[in-house]
Amino acid sequence: MIYEVRPMQCKSFPFWEKSLKDQKSWNALKTVCPGVDNKDGDFFSLEEIKKKLIP
């Protein structure tokens, strides 16, 4: 139930503008979040990412 009403900041993580700025920023995020680029995680296409970011 809570998952459906979480704030946009939570819904859009890790696809925040500051994380997508460049490869260095994305790599920095990977050092603090083990789920980013995890081989066992879900893959999101650019279209899916856009849907998450644009309500």
Q: For 35-49, write each residue's pLDDT tens digit.
A: 999 999 889 898 988
**Can you spell out the DSSP letters for 1-55?**
-GGGG--HHHHHTT--HHHHS-HHHHHHHHHH-TTTT-TTS----HHHHHHHH--
Residue 33, phi-psi category: left (phi > 0), alpha (psi -120 to 50), beta (remainder): beta
Q: Are 44 and 38 in contact (CB under 8 A)?
A: no
Q: Is pLDDT at 55 greater than 70 in this prediction?
A: no
Domain spans of the chain? 8-34+41-53
Give 3's pLDDT tier (boundaries 50, 70, 90). Answer: confident
Q: Is pLDDT at 23 greater than 70 in this prediction?
A: yes
pLDDT value for 28? 97
pTM reported for the whole predicted model: 0.70
